[in-house]
Amino acid sequence: MANRKKSLLKVIILGDSSVGKTSLMNQYVNKRFSNQYKATIGADFCTKEVVVNDRVVTMQIWDTAGQERFQSLGVAFYRGADCCVLVYDVTAPNSFKNLDSWRDEFLIQASPRDPEHFPFVVLGNKVDLDNRQVSTRRAQQWCQSKNDIPYYETSAKEGINVEMAFQTIAKNALEQETEAELINDFPDQIRLNSDNNRPGNADNCQC
Amino acid sequence: MEIDRTPPNAATSDSNSTCGEFMDAEGEPEQEERSELSAGDLYQEAELGAEEAEQQRHSIISELRDELSTRPRHPRTALSPDGDGPSAAAGQSKDLAASVESLALSTSTSTKTEDSGSSNALDEEAYDYQHDSVWRGQKKHIFILSEAGKPIYSLHGNEDKLATLFGVIQALVSFVQLGQDAITSIHAGAVKFAFMQRNSLILVAASRTNMSIQQLQLQLSDVYYQILSTLTYSHMSKIFEKRKNFDLRRLLSGSERLIYNLLANDSSNARVSNNIFTFLTNSIRVFPLPTTVRSTIVSTIQSNCSKIKKLVFAVLIANNKLIALVRMKNYSIHPADLRLIFNLIECSESFKNSENWTPICLPKFDMNGYLHAHVSYLADDCPACLLLMSVDRDAFHILSEAKQRITDKLRRSLCLQSINDELQQPYNAKLHQQVVNIPDLRHFLYKPKATAQLLCPMLRHPYKSLTEFGRLEAIYCSMLHRIHNHSRPLKLIYELKEREVVLAWVTATYELYAVFESIVDKATVIKNVDKLIKWIEKEYDVFFIRNHATF
């Protein structure tokens, strides 16, 4: 069971620019927050080890650029994600509206096997601010309509709910992992005289 | 920072003559693509007239010296690291370099903040390696990851703790892919990065050694084949087709030692051995034996195996060298596959204690299926290892009986004794005698063109020390690279180095790379090479196998 110990999850954080993606990651990984805004160029990466159901899991967190002009990493970037975190700013209604397109974009680019059940998590960030514009109910309704995506309201600044949200992310992603077992598939027997092992394709190379 | 990409059209590569030198050094992009078809192609012989080579046989040295004097000695290191070298001429690459730099900046800021804000013990552990001077100081790193950017293997350090770095690698690959292109290498000061993408895997080498990009890629393709040898191509493809996020380590656990042994074969991992040269020349070494003994061994294997159906290869090896290979008619074995076999035997002490039945995929033979190998040492008192490889997964008992008969017969015909006699010497006596007779000759590599087999003498003073051996390795890397340069292959190199005189010579029938004492003159070198070649031709059948017999 030694190999069961090693588990790594690729987690992608998406959302409009300046909703707090990088801040959430920094708060979660480093327990730090800075009020200064610095746009992410391309992508940023962090790693964090968590324990889920007695298993040590390494989370490889891919923080992406929200600004369109810095989104230049290509389709391959989303490929093989285990979980996708959608972030919006509760004080910015547009960032909430755009969740739909972020989700669609992800599903198109990553094309997971079972898009209906792909683990997303939605985070409504900046709840520490006074000028809230998107109500909890509205956000919850949207999440329910998308196959019950778990929803958390967070503050990267004050560390509210951040730990818990990421714990859920790890747990949901792990549940997906255990589902199919492809391991005990033994390849076909080699058939001699088949085309692919005809000699002579590299005469100068044989010993 | 300079980035090599496969340009969208070939025109970019030959348009600028000033950067020709450097483009040459990296090989034509089309050639890079060809290398995906077969690693062997990397060292495909230059298609230059053989007769021409013969004609120039006597006058070529002086000619080459002229050429050498007009050519920068180390074109690569002459590059300025900040990218205002010739590469900047291609505006596209410059753009790319700029964005890659900004990407790198973005990640480095993240590591910086993590460094200062290390309140969490787990985090500190997670970034250990990237701030660890030993890890950073390694001469060679190899990283293997899935297309999704999930770590599979790192030569140094726990790959889990390097997950961030793997993310950056994937981002680089993905970014270039976006432009319908593929990244092949990055040159950053003295560090070279070679990239290779195969079947949902990304393989990266980062090296401060003298290996060229092609040589690093050859090493990457060797590791790729090692992984296929464990999983097969079809199995791995099926898995990634179904699950892009699959963590391949789950299937490779237990085979890490094979990957490590394959990669840690050079001076960058403190290994002083001739093994690295078989890899660099894409060849194998042959166990020296009197011709009568070898033919007795071959006929013994033939007579005891000829009636066994579905037996494809019988391979007898000792001390990382091939004693005999008997094959099914119409099938042959590629040196890359043989190196995987050598690697397996070298890493598996447990084979010594019992008979074994193990599936092994030889990717150059058939990358989609396993051969079933009966693996055992001939006898307790003879450490030569026999592999009988069949496509029949139920052949164990038949092969086991055959092996017993082979051992008995070889014992009676005193072949076991002959193998042991050779094994008990620290080096082959004849070869040693010959090298001693040419006192100015320090080391050489000889590879006949007809076979992928390599002859090299035991390492002697001064190359027994790690630093000196590292220099020898660098000399050969550079000579091999220049001789096999895709766009400007050379036939002869004669170079006076600070501490040795080196010669590389490709003729119609062989390749020779030789290293002499620094004090010898050209006439002595020519005389000595002549002597060596004549001797090798005389003793050819002791050190090489001309044709592999069939069952």
Per-residue HEC secondary structure of B424-455 comes to: HCCCCHHHHHHHHHCCCEEEEEEEECCCCEEE
pLDDT at A63: 87
Is the Cβ of B236 closer than 8 Å to some Cβ of chain A?
Answer: no
Q: Which of A72-86, B116-130, B459-473, B532-546 has the lowest mean pLDDT?
A: B116-130
Asked if B117 is an interface residue toward chain A (Cβ–Cβ < 8 A), one would say yes
| Mean of the per-residue pLDDT values of chain B | 79
The pLDDT value given to residue A185: 61
User: Phi and psi dihedrals of B199, rounded to 5?
Assistant: 45, 60
**A179 to chain B: closest CA residue:** B243
Q: Which domains does chain B have, with CATH numbers?
A: 2-16+90-264 (3.30.450.70), 289-425 (3.30.450.30), 429-543 (3.30.450.190)
* pLDDT given for residue B448 in this prediction: 95
Predicted pLDDT of residue B97: 41
Question: Is B429 a residue whose pLDDT tops 60?
Answer: yes
pLDDT at A178: 57
* Averaged pLDDT, B458-478: 92
Please state the length of chain A.
Answer: 207
pLDDT at B259 over 80: yes
Percent share of chain A, pLDDT over 90: 38
Per-residue 3-state assignment (H helix, E strand, C coil) for A35-49: CCCCCCCCEEEEEEE
The reported pLDDT for the residue numbered B461 is: 85
Sequence-separated (6 or more) residues with CB below 8 Å from residue B527: none
Q: What is the predicted ipTM?
A: 0.82
User: What is the reported pLDDT for A88?
Assistant: 95
β-sheet bridge partners, residue A124: A88, A153
Supply the pLDDT for residue B432: 80
Position of tokens 């009986």?
B401
Q: Which of A47-56, B68-77, B200-209 is least confident?
A: B68-77
CB B496 within 8 A of CB B505: no
B150: nearest Cα among B230, B265, B251:
B251
Q: What is the pTM of this model?
A: 0.79
Closest by alpha carbon to A86, among A45, A130, A142?
Answer: A142
Counted residue by residue, chain B has a size of 551
Q: What is the mean pLDDT of residues B76-100?
A: 38
Walk across the sheet containing A8-15 and list its strands: A43-52, A55-64, A8-15, A83-89, A120-125, A151-153
The predicted model gives A121-135 an average pLDDT of: 93
Among candidates A32, A49, A76 on the partner chain, residue whose Cβ is nearest the Cβ of B147? A76
Euclidean distance between CA atoms B147 and A78, whole angstroms: 10
Mean pLDDT across the stretch B248-275? 88
Run of H or E residues at B37: helix B29-37
Contact in structure between A176 and A119 (CB atoms under 8 Å): yes
Dist CA B526 CA B65 (whole Å) = 14
Distance CA A65, CA A14 (A): 8
Q: Which residue has the tokens 């739909």?
A: A100
Radius of gyration of chain B (CA): 25
Q: Give the gap in angstroms from C-alpha A96 to the nearest C-alpha of chain B.
A: 26
| Site from A118, A194, A206 to mutate, B interface, most B CB atoms within 10 angstroms | A206
* Contact (CB<8Å) A192/B328: yes
Q: What angle, rounded to 10 degrees, do the helices at B213-231 and B233-242 form?
A: 90
pLDDT computed for residue A84 by the predictor: 93
pLDDT at B270: 84
* Residue B92: other Cβ atoms inside 10 A: 14
Quote the longest CA-to-CA distance of chain A: 76
A1 touches chain B (CB under 8 A): no
Which pLDDT value is given to residue A40? 75
The DSSP secondary structure of B235-270, one letter per residue, reads: HHHHHHHH-TT--THHHHTT-HHHHHHHHS-SGGGT
Residue B128: what pLDDT? 65
Structure tokens at B475: 């000399």
The model's confidence at residue B79, banded by pLDDT at 50, 70 and 90, is very low
Which amino acid, residue A59? M
How many angstroms separate the CA atoms of B453 and B542, rounded? 12
Beta strand segments in B255-355, E:
284-285, 311-318, 321-327
CA distances from A36 to A27, B237, B252, B471 (A): 14, 45, 44, 51
Tokens representing B136? 């950073």
Q: How many CB atoms lie within 10 A of CB B4?
A: 25
What's the pLDDT score for residue A206? Answer: 61
Q: Which A residues 188-207 touch B at CB under 8 Å?
A: 188-192, 194, 196-199, 201-202, 204-207
Nearest to B544 by CA among B209, B227, B287, B224: B287
Candidate from B71-75, B233-237, B330-334 with smallest mean pLDDT: B71-75
Closest CA in chain B for residue A49: B122
Q: Are strands A83-89 and A8-15 parallel, antiparallel or unpaired?
A: parallel
The C-alpha atoms of residue A98 and residue B288 are separated, in whole angstroms, by 72
Residue with token string 């290869």: B313
Would you say B551 and B327 are in contact if contact means Cβ atoms under 8 Å apart?
yes
| Domain at A2-205, CATH from 3.40.50.2000, 3.40.50.300, 3.90.1170.50, 3.30.470.10 | 3.40.50.300
Q: Is there a contact between B173 and A112 if contact means CB atoms under 8 Å apart?
A: no
The set of residues, in sequence order, having a beta carbon less than 8 Å from that of B212 and lying 6+ positions away, is: B25, B477, B478, B481
Q: Is the pLDDT assigned to residue B306 strictly greater than 50?
A: yes
Amino acid identity of residue B112, one-letter, is: K
Closest residue, chain A, to B392 (C-alpha): A189
Contact A82, A11 (CB under 8 A): yes
pLDDT category of residue B20 using cuts at 50, 70 and 90: very low
Interfacial B residues in 418-457 facing A (CB < 8 Å): 449, 451-453
Whether the per-residue pLDDT at B90 is higher than 60: the answer is no
Residue A109 has pLDDT above 70, yes or no: yes
> In the A/B pair of chains, how many CB contacts fall below 8 A?
220
Assess contact for B274 and B285: CB atoms under 8 A: yes
Pairing of strands B356-360, B371-379: antiparallel
B436 has pLDDT over 80: no
Is B233 within 8 Å of B368 (Cβ atoms)? Answer: yes
B125-168 per-position pLDDT tens digit: 445 677 788 888 888 999 999 999 999 999 998 888 888 889 88
Q: Which of A104-118, A177-191, B279-293 has the highest mean pLDDT?
A: B279-293
The structure tokens 């958390």 sit at: A152
In angstroms, the CA B116 to CA B131 distance is 12
For A83-96, what is the mean pLDDT? 94
Among B538, B466, B472, B535, residue whose Cα is nearest residue B502: B472
Query: Which chain A residues have a beta carbon less than 8 Å from that of B392?
Result: 189
Half-sphere exposure of B370 (CA within 13 A, CB side): 18
Q: Residue A12's closest CA among A40, A52, A45?
A: A45
Write out chain A residues lying below 8 Å of B173, CB-based: 76
- Which residues on chain A are in Cβ contact (under 8 Å) with B98? none
- B 494-513 residues inside an 8 A Cβ radius of A: none
pLDDT score, position B250:
85
Closest by Cα among B207, B211, B213 to B184: B213
Domain ranges within chain A, ordered by starting residue: 2-205
Q: Does B282 touch chain A (CB under 8 A)?
A: yes
User: CA–CA distance from B145 to each of B168, B171, B202, B264 (Å)?
Assistant: 11, 12, 5, 18
Q: How far apart, in Å, are the Cα atoms of B514 and each of B62, B352, B450?
A: 17, 36, 20
At residue B102 the predicted structure's pLDDT band, cuts being 50, 70 and 90, is very low
Compare all CA atoms of chain B with the CA of A50 and give the residue at the minimum distance.
Answer: B122
Residues of chain B with pLDDT > 70, as a percent, come to: 77
Q: Cβ A189–B122 below 8 Å, yes or no? A: no
At A3 the three-state DSSP class reads helix
Nearest-Cα distance to chain A for B433, in Å, is 27
The reply to whether residue A205 touches residue B38, judged by beta carbons under 8 angstroms, is: yes
Q: What is the pLDDT of residue B1?
A: 52
What is the model's pLDDT at position B127?
A: 52
* Nearest chain A residue (CA) to B46: A204
**Across B25-40, average pLDDT:** 37
Q: Which B-chain residues 385-404 have CB contacts (< 8 A) with chain A?
A: 391-393
Residue A8 and residue B150: Cβ atoms within 8 Å? yes
Please give the residue that has the higher pLDDT: either B230 or B428. B230
Instruction: Report the pLDDT averaged over residues A55-62.
Output: 89
pLDDT of B502 reads: 94
Report, as an integer, the average pLDDT of B277-297. 94
Quick one: pLDDT band at residue B443, thresholds 50, 70, 90? very high
